[in-house]
Chain A
Amino acid sequence: MLLSNLGYYSLVLGLILSIFLIFYSINEIKYKLFNLKISLLSILFLQFFTVLLSFFCLIFLFVYSDFSNQIVYNNSHSSDPLFYKITGTWGNHEGSLLLWLLVLTLFIFLFNLTSKGQPKRYKLLTIIFQQIIISGFFLFLLITSNPFNYLSPIPIEGLGLNPILQDPALAIHPPILYLGYVGSSIIFSSSLAALIEKNINRDWTVHIKKWILYSWIFLTAGIMLGSIWAYYELGWGGFWFWDPVENVSLMPWFCLTALFHTIIVLEKRLILKSWALVLAIATFTLSMNGTFLVRSGILNSVHTFANDPERGIFILIFLFILIFLSIIIFFVFQEDENSINKNIFWLSKETSILVNNWFMMYFLAVVLIGTIYPIFLEVINDHKISIGPPFFHKLIIPFLIPFLIFMAFGPKLKWINDDLKKNKIKNIFILLICLLISFLIIYIKGKSYLILTILFTASFYLFFVTLIDFLNKKYNLGQKIAHFAFSIFVLSILFNSIYSTEFSANMKIGDEIKFNNGIIKFEKIETFKEKNFNSLVGSFSITDKNNNIFSLEPEIRIYDQPKIVTSEADIKTTFFSDKFLVINLIKDDDYFNVRYQIKAFMIWIWISVSLLIVGGILSLRKK
């Protein structure tokens, strides 16, 4: 009770501070009606502190299982392990929004802390925009999603955290993802402020580039964590399903990737200013849009663990205000680039980065249209269609081929003007070797997909070219690692798709079944009683085609609160493949549904994305 009150009024105080900061900044910039000598930094810290306090109150309510609080009651159970009581704090709508707000206030504080050298008016304007967003979130929380609602009479026991959320990767997935999402709000506010102040120059680019990279790093890591979780927890052995909520996190990623390539051009040549601004606005809008689509419950998805149409409408209105505001500012303050010395030669680094942007925007368009089209069609025509992996694969995979080739030679082009003739023979030679390797791979596998062969060739080409580039000290290391990592990423997905095999059957204890040159034996099943679930652990011994014998122990968990059955896959990871075994209950039967998969090069997908992140981190240190 006390903690709930403290948390609630702390949020109210934070909102008041937010409104105060807006008026204070406007006064400082324009009217100078009153002369207040206060430290902005300390007020921003105070605001961060109010949200932090509120957040801790909520965590303590969860830790003490105080069921007088509505969301604790809905998302926690006294028998949940401590770790999942804490992570349950953001495993629901209200708590995750409070986390958004926490990161928002932290970032604007850090922004002010680290941009001492920037012009004062620019900083004040950034604070105004950021505080408009922050106050919107405060209002959203307090009006539609108060995390501190009472329940009376107080329930004796809570409903428990959704078991599929009881997982370490998923526990840190939202905070990391939010760091990326919210980072884009700083980029948004700062871009608008720089636009108004006509402050878009080299200094500003260097300063904002860091924020772009931070957001990109966290967004990438957040998406990867979600994907890893889906891989082992959802029990189907895939890592990307083109599920609407996955797509929603991918959209700002495309935009952000395009933005930080553009910002390099902006830094070097001061061109493409307006385009960079459009990308900055779009990135943040897409991050917000993600929150809207997930929270409104419009999407039919595994992620929609809490939703409410009223909230959707609030976010929608808020989103429209922000978009409207930014479009007006954009058109009022946008200046034409004078065309002296601003030409782009067709063969130059600028062009190659534009090509990157071109493809990024195309991928974004595919994902965006594929995600929201069914919603529109249903509203307008009352016609229900599904858009799944085949749609995205058909529209994205062929375009990856030129994209990979551009990625290989783009970074090697010089600024302003370059010549195609150098290294011509070397490049053709590499390309031929790649074609040969790819053809052999496809041929040995007995598949003959033209697109696949060319795709392999293009990815091998990127792979070898970037590998050779490591010998050359001339180019930026972060970029080299990132592009190299992307080639491994595409290659491992390709290998994964053609070399993975699977086998599934219904088996009972003692069964032994032969499958493509191997034997799978169901040895026994044991029952354990854990703190908040009962567990059935199966023992399987598998003999592979080289006569290696190993055992896998997949698990079925039967949770009491709420009553949900989950399957925990047992995965044996090696450098070349993952052995993935999952079992499921079949109703009223001694049989279990057993699905055994050999996922080729699975670990390389995670390694390559981690390497991509390392590339991003290394790019940070370069001035």
Chain B
Amino acid sequence: MKIRIIFLILISFFIFENLIAKTENELVNKISKNLRCIICQGQSVYDSNSEFALSIKLIIKKKINEGKSEKEIYSFFKDQYGEWILYDPELNEMTFVLWGLPIILFVFGGFLIFRKIFRN
């Protein structure tokens, strides 16, 4: 019973999380932090002041005003410049290992410790 209540609370938190609206500027900042400035050396669009970054920021603003969602904006940039521009790699057949391996290693490590302790 207790577990069910905790579970419900958790779920409601997660649903609630996505409902909070952000101001336009915050959203531009958030999105531009997740895009690579592809002409710079290891900087995000947000951090950079190059002309490329400035124009990308303008495009983000325009897309938000057009009513595009965050996801749509990312996929727009992905189509334009390739996956290289996204700092948050998508989960697809190229990145299964990337996302999965750390978790598998974590489980495996836990198993090793478990075996060490409960061997006898």
In the complex, are the beta carbons of A390 and B88 less than 8 A apart?
Answer: yes
In the complex, are the beta carbons of A584 and B49 less than 8 A apart?
Answer: yes
In the complex, are the beta carbons of B85 and A386 less than 8 A apart?
Answer: yes
Q: Choose one: B29, B85, B94, B105; the contact of A383 (CB below 8 Å).
A: B94
A618 contact set on B, CB distance < 8 A: none
B94 contact set on A, CB distance < 8 A: 377, 381, 383, 385
Q: Choose one: B88, B102, B116; the contact of A354 (CB below 8 Å).
A: B116
Q: Choose one: A244, A345, A389; the contact of B117 (CB below 8 Å).
A: A345
In the complex, are the beta carbons of B83 and A370 less than 8 A apart?
Answer: no
B97 lies within 8 A of chain A by Cβ: yes
Measured in the bound complex, the distance between the Cα atoms of B16 and A235 in whole Å is: 35
CB of B115 to closest CB in A, whole Å: 11
B47 contact set on A, CB distance < 8 A: 234-236, 238, 241
Known: A236-B46, A448-B17. A386 touches B36 (CB 8 A): yes
Interface string of B1-18 (1 = CB under 8 A from A): 000000000100110110
A351 lies within 8 A of chain B by Cβ: yes
CB of A322 to closest CB in B, whole Å: 23
In the complex, are the beta carbons of A386 and B46 less than 8 A apart?
Answer: no
A236 contact set on B, CB distance < 8 A: 43, 46-47
Measured in the bound complex, the distance between the Cα atoms of B51 and A344 in whole Å is: 60
Q: Choose one: A244, A365, A386, A389; the contact of B102 (CB below 8 Å).
A: A365
A156 lies within 8 A of chain B by Cβ: no
Measured in the bound complex, the distance between the Cα atoms of B33 and A609 in whole Å is: 25
Measured in the bound complex, the distance between the Cα atoms of B83 and A377 in whole Å is: 12
In the complex, are the beta carbons of B105 and A354 less than 8 A apart?
Answer: no
Measured in the bound complex, the distance between the Cα atoms of B41 and A241 in whole Å is: 12
In the complex, are the beta carbons of A385 and B84 less than 8 A apart?
Answer: yes
B17 contact set on A, CB distance < 8 A: 448-450
In the complex, are the beta carbons of B41 and A302 less than 8 A apart?
Answer: yes
Interface string of B78-89 (1 = CB under 8 A from A): 000011111111
Measured in the bound complex, the distance between the Cα atoms of B103 and A365 in whole Å is: 9
CB of A252 to closest CB in B, whole Å: 18
CB of A282 to closest CB in B, whole Å: 14
Q: Which residue of B lies closest to A354 (CB)?
A: B113
Measured in the bound complex, the distance between the Cα atoms of B120 and A245 in whole Å is: 44
In the complex, are the beta carbons of B117 and A243 less than 8 A apart?
Answer: no
Measured in the bound complex, the distance between the Cα atoms of B99 and A385 in whole Å is: 13
B120 contact set on A, CB distance < 8 A: 343
In the complex, are the beta carbons of A300 and B102 less than 8 A apart?
Answer: no
Measured in the bound complex, the distance between the Cα atoms of B14 and A346 in whole Å is: 34
In the complex, are the beta carbons of A243 and B118 less than 8 A apart?
Answer: no
In the complex, are the beta carbons of A362 and B102 less than 8 A apart?
Answer: yes
CB of B50 to closest CB in A, whole Å: 10
B119 contact set on A, CB distance < 8 A: 343
A384 lies within 8 A of chain B by Cβ: yes
In the complex, are the beta carbons of A448 and B13 less than 8 A apart?
Answer: yes
A83 lies within 8 A of chain B by Cβ: no
Complex interface residues of chain B between 23 and 48 (CB less than 8 A to chain A): 29, 33-34, 36, 41-44, 46-47
B101 lies within 8 A of chain A by Cβ: yes
A308 lies within 8 A of chain B by Cβ: no
In the complex, are the beta carbons of B101 and A369 less than 8 A apart?
Answer: yes
Which of B14, B49, B82, B94 neighbours the largest number of chain A CB atoms within 10 Å of its CB? Answer: B49
In the complex, are the beta carbons of B82 and A365 less than 8 A apart?
Answer: no
A391 lies within 8 A of chain B by Cβ: yes
Known: A362-B105, A450-B13. A355 touches B85 (CB 8 A): no
CB of B19 to closest CB in A, whole Å: 9
Q: Could you tell me which A residues sit within 8 Å of B by CB distance?
A: 234-236, 238, 241, 243-244, 300-302, 304, 343-346, 351, 354-355, 358, 361-362, 365-366, 369-370, 373, 377, 381, 383-391, 394-395, 399, 446-450, 453, 502, 584, 586-587, 593
**Top 3 nearest A-B pairs by Cβ distance?**
A388-B87, A390-B88, A450-B13
A-B CB contact pairs (8 Å), 7 listed: A238-B47, A300-B42, A346-B117, A373-B95, A383-B83, A385-B84, A449-B17
